[in-house]
Amino acid sequence: MDFSFTDEQVDLREMVIKFARNELDYDLAEYDKNGEFPLEAWRKCAEMQFLGLPFDEEYGGGGSDFLTMSLVLNALGYACKDAGLVHAIATQVLCGMQIRMFGSEEQKQKYLPDVCSGKKIFAQAITEPDSGSDALSMRSRATWNGDGYLLNGTKMFITNGPIADVVIVFAVTDPDKKTLGGISCCFVEKGFAGFQQCNPIKKMGLTTLQNGELVFDACPIPPGNLMGKEGQGGMIFNESMEWERSFLPAAHLGTMERVLETSIRYAKERKSFGQSIGKFQSVSNKLAEMKMRLELGKLICWKAATLKDQGKRATLESSIGKLFISECLKQTCLDAVQIHGGYGYTTEYEIERDLRDSVAATIYSGTSELQYNIISRWLGL
C-alpha cells in the first residue's frame, strides 16, 4: 500500500497549519477555564471549508477524498491546541458522512449544505445514561403513531449536543427484534416539541467541547425525518463507527507530533547536572518511544483511510488504529509532562491540558476495552 501524499495534499496540510497558527489564536486558557465553545473559530474553520471537505460540490462541499480530509484533521490536531474544537469539527464531518451514506436525496439537500457551511451544528446521539459500551441495548423508543414517530428517552454525553441545531438520534422502533433490526435513526431539530438540550457537562478535559444530556419527551418526528429505513439503525451505527474510528485518530496523531516536538525542544534546552536532559537515556528513551508511536500510528491510520477511499471495509484496521493511537496519545502526553518536570505540571506550559484532553480519546467512539474485544472477536476468540 502506497502511503505517500501528493504535492497538493502536502501543500494543503501546510496551509491548514499556517491558518490554524494565525487565525485560531484565541485565548485558549480562558476558554478552557470557562468551558466555552469557540464559535468564532468554528466559523473561520467553516469558511476554510474544513467542515465540508469530503462532500460533493453540489451540496457546498469540497469534493475531496477521505485521506485528504483525514490529513486536514491531522493538521488541525497538530497546529490547533484546542482539541475540543477539533473534535467538534470531526463530529460535524462524521454526521455529514452518515447523511451522505444513508440520507435520502431530499435529506442530503436539506442538511448537507448546513453541515458544510457550519451554519447549523450537528450531533449524533447514541449513548444513554444506562448504556454506553453496550450501545445497542439503548432504551429510547420511537413509536409509530400513524402520522409519524413519537420519541421518548434520554441521551448522554452527546458531543455538540447542548448547542446542536440538528441531532441524528438512534432509538428502538421494534423492541421485539434483536438489536440489528430493531433500531432506527432519525433527525431531531432544535425547537421540536418535547426536545430539551441540557447544559454542558463539566469535564476534566476537552472543556471547550460541549457535551450534554438530551431529553426527548413525546417528541414528534415526521416520517420524512427517518434516516435510512426503519430497522437500519444498528447497521448505520456499525458503519458510522468504522468511519469514526478511521477518522478521529488522525487528529490525535497531529497532537502527538506537536507534543513530541515541544518535548524535544525542551529536552535540548533544559540543563541538569551540566548537560541537556535529552542526553539522559531515561529521557531520550521516552522521546524515542514517542516517535515510534507516532510513526506506527501513522501507518495504521493512513491505511484505514486509504481502505475507506478504495471502498473497502476497515473494521479491523479502524479498531486497531483507534485503540493504538488513543492509548499512545495518552502515554505521549503523560511522558511529555514528565519530561517537562514541574513545569509540565503547570497550566502555563499547556502540556497538562493535552494530557487532560487525551484521556477522552480512550473512551469515546468505543472504549479501549471494547476495541480489544472487537480485535479478539476478529481473531476468532
Partner 1 sequence: MEIKDTIKSFIMTELLAEKGLGSLADADPLIDSGIIDSFGIMALMSFLEEKFSIQIAGDELIPENFESVMRISALVAQKTECSLGV
Ligand X SMILES: Cc1cc2nc3c(=O)[nH]c(=O)nc-3n(C[C@H](O)[C@H](O)[C@H](O)COP(=O)(O)OP(=O)(O)OC[C@H]3O[C@@H](n4cnc5c(N)ncnc54)[C@H](O)[C@@H]3O)c2cc1C
Say which amino acid occupies 170.
F
Site for partner 1 in 90-149 (CB under 8 A): 101-102, 136
Read off the C-alpha cell for 316.
Answer: 479491523
- Dihedral, CA of residue 43, residue 48, residue 49 and residue 54, to nearest 10: -130
Identify which of 310, 203, 183, 186 has the alpha carbon closest to the alpha carbon of residue 246: 310
Interactions with partner 1, residue window 160-179 (CB under 8 A): 177-179
CB-based burial, 98-116: b 16+ in 10 Å, e otherwise:
bbbebbeeebbebbbbbbb
Q: Applying CB under 6 A, which of residues 38, 54, 103, 132 lies at the interface with ligand X?
A: 132
Residue 215 DSSP one-character state: E
Contact criterion met (CB below 8 Å) for 54 and 114? no
- Of these, 112, 206, 226, 290, which contacts ligand X (CB under 6 A)? 206
Q: 3-state DSSP call for residue 255? A: helix
Q: Which residue has the cell 413519537?
A: 150
Residues within window 155-194 making contact with ligand X, judged by CB under 6 A: 157-159
Report the partner that residue 136 touches, choosing among partner 1, ligand X, none (CB closer than 5 to 8 A by kind).
partner 1
The answer to whether 211 contacts ligand X (rule: CB under 6 A) is: yes
Cβ 242 vs Cβ 305: under 8 Å: no
Stretch that binds ligand X, among 37-45, 127-135, 216-224, 309-317 (CB under 6 A): 127-135
Among candidate residues 166, 168, 158, the one with its CA nearest the CA of residue 101: 168
Rounded Cα distance, 336 and 351, in Å: 7
Rounded CA separation 30/246 (Å)? 32
Of 28, 336, 364, 374, the one binding ligand X (CB under 6 A) is: 364
Report the site for ligand X in 133-152 (rule: CB under 6 A): 133
Q: Which of 127, 225, 232, 358 binds ligand X (CB under 6 A)?
A: 127
Please check whether residue 253 is in contact with residue 292, taking contact to mean a CB–CB distance below 8 angstroms. Answer: no
What 8-state DSSP symbol labels residue 196?
Answer: E
Regarding 85 and contact with ligand X (CB under 6 A), the answer is: no
Residue of the chain from 3, 345, 372, 378 that contacts partner 1 (CB under 8 A)? 378
For residue 363, the partner it binds in partner 1, ligand X, none, with Cβ less than 5 to 8 A by kind, is ligand X
Alpha-carbon span 80 to 44, nearest angstrom: 13
- Which part of the chain contacts partner 1 (CB under 8 A), choosing from 6-14, 25-33, 225-233, 352-360? 225-233
Q: Choosing among partner 1, ligand X, none, which partner's interface includes residue 364 (Cβ < 5 to 8 Å by kind)?
A: ligand X
Whether 244 is catalytic = yes
Q: Are strands 271-272 and 211-221 parallel, antiparallel or unpaired?
A: unpaired
Q: Which does 180 bind (CB under 5 to 8 A by kind): partner 1, ligand X, none?
A: partner 1
Does 370 sit near ligand X (CB under 6 A)? Answer: yes
Q: Nearer to ligand X by C-beta: 211 or 262?
A: 211
Q: How far is the CB of 217 from partner 1 (least distance, A)?
A: 28
Beta bridge partners of 185: 170, 227
Q: Which does 177 bind (CB under 5 to 8 A by kind): ligand X, partner 1, none?
A: partner 1
| Active-site annotation holder among 213, 242, 244, 257 | 244
By CB under 8 A, tell whether 235 contacts partner 1: yes
Residue from 234, 254, 297, 366 touching partner 1 (CB under 8 A): that is: 234
Other Cβ atoms within 10 Å of 134 Cβ, number:
11
**Closer of 158 and 221 to ligand X (Cβ):** 158
60 interacts with partner 1 by CB under 8 A: no
Tell me the CA end-to-end span of the chain in Å, nearest whole number.
28
Q: How far is the CB of 363 from ligand X (least distance, A)?
A: 5
Do 332 and 286 touch, CB atoms closer than 8 A? no
Which chain residues interact with ligand X by CB under 6 A?
91, 124-127, 132-133, 157-159, 206, 211, 360, 363-364, 366-367, 369-370, 373
The residues annotated with a catalytic role in the active site are: 244
